[in-house]
Amino acid sequence: VFGACLGLMRPEAWPLLFVYGVWLWLRHPRLRVLVVLGLIAQPFFWFVPPWIGSGQPFLAAVHASEYNGQLGSNPFFTVLVRGLDVQTIPVLVLGVVAVALAWMRRPRQWLTLALGAGALVWWVVVVGMTLDGYPGLERFYLPAAGVTCVLAGVGIVRLAELASRGRVALAAGVIAILVAATIPFTGGRINEASQQDKIAGQAVTHLDQMQAAVAAVGGHDGVYPCRSSFAAVNHGVQTALAWQLHVVLGAVGTSMRHQGVMFVGPHDTIDGIAAPVNPHLTQRQLLATVGPWKVYRMTKPGADQSCVGR
């Protein structure tokens, strides 16, 4: 049941969910009904509701691929760094140690090996989807990072067992040393966590100000006088602006590539960088200012501007 719920949140879980479903089908026949329901639920709830609501069964995939993940010139390297950064390096190393020791022990510890394989498969899926055009955000790695943390705990215990050889005091000492070695790597994480309440409050303020900026230029009708009208915004709040303007994600860009209305917010970790502007859009008219937000009408000289907002 929990696996099915995970698959409904993150499609990266589907390969693992399928393998686990096959294993349950073979080993626990009494659970076959739940296995079938869990597997059927994945395509049904991912594709049928958006198909009914918008006529596009793959709307979630389209929106995800249109989101600007700021991957830079080397998406492969960037997404790997994000996967490494989601947990501290000592945790990752200890997780690998746990898997290596599980392979070398006799009999092999298949549960530990299965957890390690699952985390690795998750990495491969995230990287593959990123190279296929999806945003490759750091949070996509969180399930694998959680498993890695569990494996790191196993790794600490296994190393203590190797060092102690039955001596409890020595085992406790090894564990204390290994745990202490990870502390310097967690200082930055602790400081970052302590700032989250302040950052969240600032994010709410920025979104409220953006909503006021939308109202100041006439809302949906002011920004989209035609079906082909266009708007752009800082990449971190693309989905929020689409929601406030009541349009699909494709109608809001993270680069000002066409004539339209451009919302420019503060360049920070909340809103992201401002939308780069097509060099042909040389005419800029300030429409509204709300707090740090500025709204511009961006046009090209001599071009038809009848479908440009405001």
Give the per-residue pLDDT at 185.
77
Are the C-beta atoms of residues 253 and 223 closer than 8 Å to each other? no
Residue closest to 294 by CA, chosen among 263, 259, 258:
263
Half-sphere exposure of 106 toward its Cβ, with a 13 Å CA cutoff?
Answer: 0
Say if strands 260-264 and 293-299 run parallel, antiparallel, or are unpaired: antiparallel
Burial of 201 (0-12, 13-18, 19+ CB in 10 A): exposed
Over residues 92-109, the pLDDT tens digits come to 989 999 999 999 888 989
Over residues 117-153, the pLDDT tens digits come to 999 999 999 999 999 888 888 889 999 999 999 999 9
- The 8-class DSSP code of residue 13 comes to G
Whether residue 28 is predicted with pLDDT greater than 80 in this model: the reply is yes
Over residues 143-188, the pLDDT tens digits come to 999 999 999 999 988 888 877 665 667 667 777 887 887 777 777 7
Are the C-beta atoms of residues 129 and 136 closer than 8 Å to each other? yes
Cα(247)–Cα(234) distance, integer angstroms: 16
Q: Which residues contact 292 (CB under 8 A, 6 or more apart)?
A: 206, 209, 265, 266
Give the per-residue pLDDT at 165.
63
Whether residue 265 is predicted with pLDDT greater than 90 in this model: the reply is yes
Cα(22)–Cα(120) distance, integer angstroms: 19
Residue 130's SS3 state is: helix
Of 287 and 138, which is predicted with more confidence? 287
Cα(42)–Cα(111) distance, integer angstroms: 26
Whether residue 112 is predicted with pLDDT greater than 90 in this model: the reply is yes
Give the per-residue pLDDT at 66.
67
Q: Check: pTM over 0.75? Answer yes or no.
A: no
- The 8-class DSSP code of residue 184 comes to G
Instruction: Kindly state the average pLDDT of the residues 239-264.
Output: 92
